[in-house]
Every structure is written in C-alpha cells, then in structure tokens.
Structure 1
C-alpha cells in the first residue's frame, strides 16, 4: 500500500496522454467514456491509498490485512479499463499511434510488477486481467469483425502479447521472492539487533549487580572484621578479659561466616552448578535438626522457640529444603525482638507445608515483593544493618527450583508468617527450572540461543 501513491498519479497522468494520441482517430464518445471510467478507477485507488495512510496504517496487522482484502479488487478493475483501450486503437488507428498505445500499455504492465509484486495475488490478478482483456478484444476484432482476413502482423501481436504476459508473470514472481527475502533479512537483522541490545543490557545489569554486590558485601563485612581487629588488639593488651571478649569474637566470626555462606549459595545458583538430590525427607527429623541449631539463638535473645511437628515425608532435596527453612527461621529471629518463633509442619487439603511464624516487626505491603530481590533491605527495619539482603532472595530461587510454592503474610508491628508448600519435586522439572533460572539472568544469551536454533 505504501508504494501505490506514486502509481496512482502516474496512471492519472497517462490518461490525458492516451487521449491526446487517439483524439484525432478514435471515436470521441467512446474515448471520453473510457476516460471517465479510467479517471474514476484511478481516483478510487488514490482515495483508498490515502485513507489507508491516514487511518489504517497505524492499526494492527489483522485490521490492515482485512482492509486490503475488502478493497483489492480495485486493482484488477483498473487493469480491465486499461485492457479495454484496445477497442480504441487495435486495427482502428495508424500503426504509429498503435505503437505508442501499446508502449503505454506495456509500461503500465511493467510498472505494475514493481509496485504490486509485494502481494503476489494482486500482481497476478492485475496482469491476468490486463492481458486477457486485451487478448479478448483482439480475438473479437480478428475472428468476428475481420473473419480472420486481417493483416498477418495481428498474429504476431497476439504471440508477442502472450509471451510478454508470461515473461512479466515470471519477472514479478522473482521480484516477489526478492522482496520477501529482503523483508526476512530485515526482520532477522532486527532480531539480531534486539538480541545484541538484550545482551548489552544483560551485561550492564551484570555490572550493576556486581557493583551492588561489592558495595553491599564490603559494607556488611567491614563492621564484623573491624570488630574482630579491635577485639584482638584489646585481648592482646588485656588478656584477663578473655571471658568477656571471647563471645564477642565468636559473634563477629559467625557474622563473617554467614555472609560467606550466603555469597557461596548465590554463586552456586547464578553459575547453574547447584546439584539436586531429590529424595524422601523426614519432616520430623528436619525440624528437629533446625531446632537444635536455632533454639539457642532465640533463647539468647529472650525469645520463645516452639516447634509443632505433624510427622510425614516430603519429596524434595533434603539439603536445599533445610537451607530454605533455615534461612526463613534465621530471618525471623533477626527481626523479632520480643515474643517468639513457631516452626510447624502441617497437613492441609492441598498437601503438606512448613510454616514459620514470628512476632517481629512485620513487612509493609509495599515491601513484600521487593524483599525477594538480591541485596534488598527494608528501610527503617531494626536489624537491617546486620543483614546482607540475600537470605530471602536465595529462598525464593530455591523454592522456585524445587517447585515448592512460597507464600507470605505479614502485618507491620504484628509479625510475619512464611508458608512453604511441599509439593513433590519432580527431578527433571527441577533441573529444567534450575537451568532456566540461570538463563533468565542473561536474557540476551537465551535470545541468541533461540536465534541460533531458528537458523539451524
């Protein structure tokens, strides 16, 4: 449709030229009638093209196709009027005027394959209508009116017209194929540009994540390491304070170890080297092991630590599941200053689940999605200076990989509950999700792989 505007003006310009050539020899009434219909057809085509450019070009692909489908007959109708010009000049005017008229008709036919070859059906309809109409008029003149007594060059004209018609059809087909390859190449180039853009953005995102990682890690590790240095100097100068300083040194060492454990977990997740070992997990034993680990931390803060066990077995990775629940318990202990922690395994109509309840500071709705991002810390939360913003991010990644839906309910200053639904883990699906979680970090690499598979 975008190539048609110039074509319409050329068609309108040729009408007066054609009339000028035949004005002295053709029947003027018939010539004027033809000119009236030809101008009407050309004006209709021009109005369609202008309406398309003004109203339809910005619509959806389906609407554009439907608009063209309803109006595409105007092109073969225009070809019909131009084919009927043979009534005016074939064997009715001088050879010089016939030559000029045939030249105009041939030019229109050749120009049509350039302007219409993008849509093969329309181009063929135009050429077929033009050629068949001209051949029909010539056949009527030769067989009915002249009863095959006309000059021999009539047959040569018929033969040349048929050959020219078929040559134009083949040339139009080749041009259509060329157009299609060019559009496909343009589309593929756009895909490659999009892929490169995504890869560049992924690289920039990786740099940003790395910078945030270094800044956060440096900030979080500075305090416990600095404290370790101070305690060590203090202990060196006053060894009699060993009983007072030793617990503080242990706490600072635990903080450093916790940071490195989180960083190692994150590195394994992002590298895709996490190994899955799906097996039956005894929930009672799992919660007992976690109770042994975290009860002393709660009691040291003056918090109650309760465990409610509904015996049963879950199909999961025992190490990763323990890491998930452990991170949630550690998070609950960190942000609870009074009250206590409840860890429970329950049986529900939809299956088994583990719940971690706390009476801590809670999480406002505006932050409840953000807390699962890496290095995110809720502003104004007491205790965030001791956290690294990785625990819940790792929990979200691991629950997604294992296929254990994670739910959160929280009220500020009232407490929080995390629920891990223990849907049985399918090993193959979990492995696929582990690979996909890594690829999502680099969308450009995934897009490039898609393009490569399309090329193959």
Structure 2
C-alpha cells in the first residue's frame, strides 16, 4: 500500500484549473481530491514496511503464506502505481480539454480508490499471520508497525473522507477480528485475557484517533480548496465584468459617434435656412417691390426650420421612451381625410396632382405610429416629384389591407438603398434644396420595430421609382407604400416588371387606370 507521507498537504492547483468555471464547487473539490490522491510519490517507506513485515513473518509463519502475502502486497502496489501514471498522463493533456473533469480521469480515480481498499485488505491479512504465528513480543512490534501504517495512510487518503474512513476501518477491524478469533480459539489465563483486553482497547482508541486526525486533515484540505475556488470564481467574475464593461464602453462610444454626427448634421442644416431668412429680411429693407416674393421665401425657410426641429423632437422622443400608444380602431376614410387635409395644399403649391382612391373599412392599429409612417411616405412622394402627380390608394384582401402610394419621382441609386433607414442619411445629400436632417426614415424604421410583427421591405430603381413595403402579420394589416415614376404605358405588366418578385400582390385595374390618368 502506498503510505509515503505527504510532504506538502496543499499542493498548488494546476494551471488547467483555470477552466474551473465549468465546474460546480463540489465538482471542483472532487477534482482537487483526485489530483492530490493520485499525485506521484516515492515508495521508500511503503517498500521498507513490506520487506520488514515479510522478514518478521518468514521465521515463524508458513513460508508459502508469507510469500503469497508479499506477492499480493507488491502486486497491489504495482496496480496503484500504474493508475497514478495513467492519471498523470491525463492530467498533462488537460489543457486540450474543454472541461477540467474528464470521464477518463474519473474512471481512473475510481479504480485507484478501489485499489486502496484492496491493499487495505491485503495488509489486514498480515494481522492474521502475526497474531497467530509470531511470539508475543514480536506481535507488539508488528502491532506498532500496522498502526503506524494506518496513521501514514490518512496523510494520503484524508483528501477523500469516505475513502479514508473505509481504509482505516479495514485495517483496524481486521486486527480486531483476528485477535478475537485467536482469543476464542486458544486457552488463555487471566493475564493473557487482560493483555487481549488492553489490545482491543488500544485498537479502538487508535481508530478513534485516526478519525479525529483524519477529519482535521480533511477540513484543512476543504478550507484551502474553498479559498482557491473563491479566488478563481472571483477572477472569472472580474473577467466577465471587464468584458461587460468593454461592451458598454463600446456601445457608449458608438452612441457618442451618433450624437456627434447628429449635432454636426443639425448644426450644418440649421444654418442654411436661418441664414437665408436673415438674408431675405435684409433684402426686404432695401427693395419693397419684391416684398411679397421675399415674404413667401421667408415662410418657406421658416417651414424648413420647423421641419428640422420636428425631426429633432421626434428623434429625441424615440430615444427616451419606448412606450407605444394603445391600439385603436380607425376608419380608412378618416386616415385618407387626414392625409388629404394636410397634403393637398402642399401638392397644389408644387403644381402636381394628388389623388386618393378610397374604400370603406376599419383598421385596428396604433394610430399615432400608423399615420406618422404614412405621412412620411407621402411627404417623400411629393417632395421628390416635380412633374405628374401622386396617387394614394387602398385595396383589401381576405387577410390584409394595403395602402399604396404612387408618384412620378426620381428613385434612389442602388448603391445607397441599404442606407436609407440610417440616421442622418440623405440620398440627395448633394442637393441641399430639400429640407431635413435625414431622420425621417430612421424614425419610421424605429416605429415599425415597435409595432408587433411589422417589417419593411424597400426596392427602388433610379429614374423609375421606389417601393417600400410595411407589413404586419399579428394584426391582419398590410401597408404597401410605393414611389413610382410613370411609364409610357402604365400597364399592370410595367408595374410588375418594376417591382419584381418582392411584391406578389395582383395590381387592381382601378389603380392602373388612375395612374394612367396621372401620367397623361
């Protein structure tokens, strides 16, 4: 049996234990227990005890029995040493594993614990030989050796309390059993009875001391492991916190970049209409004949400033609040009436046609979000249409209601279509005649994200038009917004050729007719 005294009870955990965040506290304790239990050590003391016990028995006990015991003892020790070698190889390759505790390591550790129990039985068998065959004085020497062996064993097995208790129980109970059997099987006088009684008391007291000392060793191990585990967990928590702080720091940096772009764009775009207003006011003071025309331009610049601030306020409200208004039932007619009241004067000012194709029906939507999205699309349709007109239509299917806006606008370049919903992006950036900070579609995108099940699909062709599809499936409403330039022949085939497979809904004849009228 491997009984070499453990020189350093608390060996430093291996580097690979840095992966211990994959293990629970008790699993990590089990790993450290197995690692210390199977730690390679010299066999000088255990080999000396085997040889000494064999020499003591060879002169009194049957030689065959002594030789068998020696062979079993050395075979058991060889078994234990081979398991220690296997575990050392597994431990050395631990850095390539994803977890600290592997199945192979657990199997080897369990076999090693079994080897300890078997070796304890072998040493317990030695007590039968020296009790039955050795003279009384030699028995006392053998008894001291056997109990010294038991005390040495706890320095190794105390890392596993269950194994320690089993090994000490086997060693002590074997001596008790063979002593009692020898006492019963031989004639003894009172003096020998007293000796046997003292021997039994000595064994029981030794067993008690072994348990006390062993548990103290075990408690020292667990205290050390607890401190090590807490340290490793603290390091893991600090690493996790550091990673979270880095993520938040990066997010703050990105937010700061957005804010910087925001203020840069806002400052630049606000200076233009304000500077124009100041110039127009100066001109009013010097040329009264053009007052009416200049006043109109001042109003236009004022409207531009107002629109810029509206975009700023909308963007601000979206970033400080995510609360959505309750759903509300509203008629299609009321939506069209609101759009007509607001946009017909604007269309008349630009001298373009604005027509509405109305139908009866009701919607259950977030009215604030819904009208804001539609208003933005109609605004864009009018803004980028200089000739022709705009058609706003609606049609119903068994599952959806779709709103369609057609215009004779300019379309958007393919290279920038994936950026139109970004903050501060304007597809017409070189053209500073159009108002806005480039926040309109970004606000629309945010609103759509807050509508359950809603999504946007955008498609455009330069010089022909653009299409935006807003759909929601949780509430059976489909909104289709399309900015469309006229074709020489406004046929259903022409519209489908433009929109492609993204829009699979069949075009109603009524809308085709109205668009043809607008084209003329």
Classify the secondary structure of the residue corresponding to 1:341.
Answer: strand
Classify the secondary structure of the residue corresponding to 2:181.
Answer: coil
In the alignment, is residue 215 of structure 1 matched against residue 268 of structure 2? no
- Which residue number in structure 2 is paired with residue 72 of structure 1? 106
In the alignment, is residue 306 of structure 1 matched against residue 355 of structure 2? yes
- In 2, the alpha carbon distance for the partners of 1:384 and 1:43 equals 82
- Which residue number in structure 1 is paired with residue 306 of structure 2? 257
In the alignment, is residue 29 of structure 1 matched against residue 96 of structure 2? no
1:249/1:70 CA distance change after superposition, 3 Å: same
Contact conserved, 1:354 with 1:420, CA < 8 A, in 2? no
Given candidates 131, 134, 141, the residue that maps to 2:165 is 131
- In 2, the alpha carbon distance for the partners of 1:157 and 1:261 equals 90
In the alignment, is residue 418 of structure 1 matched against residue 446 of structure 2? no
- In 2, the alpha carbon distance for the partners of 1:404 and 1:338 equals 36
Contact conserved, 1:335 with 1:361, CA < 8 A, in 2? yes
Cα deviation per residue 1:252-285 (whole Å; 9 max; x = unaligned)?
1111110001111111222218672542222222
Given candidates 275, 290, 299, the residue that maps to 1:241 is 290
Residue 170 of structure 1 deviates from its aligned partner by: 6.4
Contact conserved, 2:455 with 2:472, CA < 8 A, in 1? no
- In 2, the alpha carbon distance for the partners of 1:349 and 1:167 equals 80
Classify the secondary structure of the residue corresponding to 1:147.
Answer: helix
Q: Which moved more, 1:85-94 or 1:37-46?
A: 85-94
- Which residue number in structure 1 is paired with residue 447 of structure 2? 398
Contact conserved, 1:344 with 1:355, CA < 8 A, in 2? yes
Residue 52 of structure 1 deviates from its aligned partner by: 3.0
Q: Please report the RMSD computed on the Cα atoms of aligned residues, expressed in angstroms.
A: 3.7
- Which residue number in structure 1 is paired with residue 274 of structure 2? 225
Contact conserved, 2:390 with 2:406, CA < 8 A, in 1? yes
* Higher RCO (CA 8 Å, separation ≥ 6 residues): 1
- Which residue number in structure 2 is paired with residue 123 of structure 1? none
Cα deviation per residue 1:40-77 (whole Å; 9 max; x = unaligned)?
110111122233322x23xxxxxx48x72454132132
Classify the secondary structure of the residue corresponding to 2:41.
Answer: helix
Residue 310 of structure 1 deviates from its aligned partner by: 2.5
- Which residue number in structure 1 is paired with residue 40 of structure 2? 12
Cα deviation per residue 1:142-166 (whole Å; 9 max; x = unaligned)?
3147626562322222333444566
Gaps of at least 5 residues in structure 2 are 1-13, 18-30, 55-68, 131-140, 184-195, 477-520
Contact conserved, 2:150 with 2:168, CA < 8 A, in 1? no
TM-score w.r.t. structure 2 length?
A: 0.66
1:21/1:238 CA distance change after superposition, 3 Å: farther
Gaps of at least 5 residues in structure 1 are 58-63, 113-125, 427-456
1:263/1:400 CA distance change after superposition, 3 Å: same
Residue 318 of structure 1 deviates from its aligned partner by: 3.0
- Which residue number in structure 2 is paired with residue 45 of structure 1? 87
Contact conserved, 1:406 with 1:420, CA < 8 A, in 2? yes
Alignment of 1:30-179 (within 5 A): 30-54=72-96, 56-57=97-98, 64=99, 68-69=102-103, 71-86=105-120, 87-88=122-123, 91=127, 94=142, 97-98=145-146, 101-110=149-158, 112=159, 126-144=160-178, 147=181, 149=183, 151-152=199-200, 153-164=202-213
Classify the secondary structure of the residue corresponding to 2:420.
Answer: helix
Contact conserved, 1:282 with 1:314, CA < 8 A, in 2? yes
- In 2, the alpha carbon distance for the partners of 1:419 and 1:348 equals 16
Residue 372 of structure 1 deviates from its aligned partner by: 2.0
Residue 213 of structure 1 deviates from its aligned partner by: 1.4
In the alignment, is residue 330 of structure 1 matched against residue 358 of structure 2? no
1:37/1:95 CA distance change after superposition, 3 Å: same
Classify the secondary structure of the residue corresponding to 1:350.
Answer: coil
- Which residue number in structure 2 is paired with residue 270 of structure 1? 319
Alignment of 1:283-294 (within 5 A): 283-294=332-343
Residue 215 of structure 1 deviates from its aligned partner by: 0.4
1:174/1:357 CA distance change after superposition, 3 Å: farther
- In 1, the alpha carbon distance for the partners of 2:325 and 2:457 equals 25
- Which residue number in structure 1 is paired with residue 367 of structure 2? 318
Q: Which moved more, 1:412-421 or 1:219-228?
A: 412-421
1:227/1:13 CA distance change after superposition, 3 Å: same
- In 2, the alpha carbon distance for the partners of 1:210 and 1:380 equals 19
- In 2, the alpha carbon distance for the partners of 1:244 and 1:421 equals 44
Residue 392 of structure 1 deviates from its aligned partner by: 0.7
Residue 97 of structure 1 deviates from its aligned partner by: 4.8
Residue 37 of structure 1 deviates from its aligned partner by: 0.7
Contact conserved, 2:161 with 2:215, CA < 8 A, in 1? no
Cα deviation per residue 1:304-340 (whole Å; 9 max; x = unaligned)?
4332223222123434322221112112333445554
Alignment of 1:353-368 (within 5 A): 353-363=402-412, 367-368=416-417
Q: Which has the larger radius of gyration?
A: 2
